[in-house]
Amino acid sequence: MNLIHLFERWMAPLYTNLSITESAQGIINYILSLVCLSALAFISGKFFRFISGKIIGRTVEKTRGKWDDYMQQSGFFSRLTRLITPIIVYLIIPVFLPVENMVTEFIRRCIVAYIFGNVAYTLAAFLDGINTIYQASNGEMARQKPIKGYLQMIKIFIYIIAIILIITAVMDVSPVGILSGLGAMSAVLMLVFKDSILGFVSSMQLSANDMVRIGDWIEMPKYNADGYVIDITLQSIKVQNWDKTITTIPIYALISDSFKNWRGMSDSGGRRIKRSIYIDMTSVRFLAEDDIKKLSDLRLLSSYLASKIMEIEEHNKKLGVPEHDYVSGRHLTNLGTFRAYIEAYLVDNPNVHQGMTHMVRYLETGAEGLPMELYLYTSDTRWVKYEGILADIVDHLLAVMPEFGLRVFQNPSGWNMDNISKGISCLDNKQKED
């Protein structure tokens, strides 16, 4: 027994009274069965959406595990329940539409195509859930080996297969014919999916060589990128710059072009400071007795000066150099003592990484004086802390330089010129008075 036969039995008196022909009666019964089938599909869809939203949602919230929560967030369960309605409709078509005609066959094909599309849609949600579970279960591994790009590539293949199956289902043709036709379209497909193919190969190389991870600080001047990697997809990498702008870089550009990854600095625990202080060379001189006595009271220099004075006295005594002969013998200079003070200061500073290189050296002299370069690593790699440590070191050294009788070289400014002109004016006035 099917629904059309029931309509024929129930509606026969009405058809007789209205004098409706048998062919028209068959069409009306067919339409009524189709309406009932559509109503059943609508009610079934609402019912299973209710189950997905209420029953499954509440069940997921009560479970202890987190994987089902992530699957629920990705929409996997809701999309899975949507598959039930078209499957039920397809199975009960013979009950509602037993007449085999073009319309019935087309409806059946459309339902099959809808099932294929929903299966692809469900699998895509499942892959999104897998990615979320992977990131949540092992955040460090997910940063080092992100799988989002691979999952996107799988989704592309799923969608391609789903499109082929949908076309074959609606047109009622063999998939072999379409696949053979794709061979002739391979050049077009290569052109369309060029970025995806390049991205897939590049992401494999980046992952295999561990070149970049989510959370890495990278610099790529060609794309004006300078900040943290916040997302890695099949085709691109998103970088949040320090000004909070987002730069999107094609993933294959990281293979073809050069970029700087600061992960090594972060992992090492030390961040380099390389800064020069320019010394006015006219302020360099030998230390007098009073200078040595004053500097010997400094905690960081007392032991150095004591050992250095003893070493110099023994050296000059061997050579027979008089005490005040600054040309023939060795003597302490304010610049050398200042350099020794800086080295002692860096060793004593808890913010300087003692396990890494730290030194003070002279660079080549020039028109701007004698560059004294500080080369060291801070023990804190955070940007704000790093800048604070750097500022404290430079502030302190600039402030103590006068204690050593040294001056910082600085090009004349407007203030200097104004004082010079005032001095010249005063000198001219004095000469006129004289």
pLDDT at 16: 59
Model confidence pLDDT, tens digit, residues 404-434: 999 998 877 666 566 666 666 666 666 666 5
Q: Which residue has the tokens 């940063």?
A: 143
Res 257: pLDDT: 86
Looking at residue 360, what is its pLDDT? 93
The pLDDT of 280-290, averaged and rounded, is: 90
Per the structure block, which two tokens stand in for 394?
């430079």
Mean residue pLDDT across the chain: 81
pLDDT of residue 23: 64
Per-residue model confidence (pLDDT) at position 188: 67
- Domains in the chain with CATH codes: 3-180 (no CATH), 209-268 (2.30.30.60), 269-285+333-434 (3.30.70.100), 288-330 (no CATH)
Least Cα distance to 138 among 80, 73, 66, 231 occurs for 66
Range 64-78 average pLDDT:
79
Residue carrying the six token digits 């790529």 = 220
Instruction: For 354-370, write each residue's pLDDT tens digit.
Output: 999 999 999 998 888 99
Identify the band that residue 9 occupies on the pLDDT scale cut at 50, 70 and 90.
low
Model pLDDT, residue 4: 54
**pLDDT (tens digit, 9 = 90+) per residue, 336-392?**
999 999 999 999 999 999 999 999 999 998 888 999 999 999 998 888 899 999 999
Q: 108 pLDDT band (50/70/90 cuts)?
A: confident
Residue 91, pLDDT above cutoff 70: yes
Q: Is the pLDDT of residue 19 over 60?
A: no
Alpha helices in 138-193 (DSSP H): 139-144, 148-171, 175-184, 186-192
Give residue-wise pLDDT tens across range 137-159: 777 777 777 777 788 788 888 88
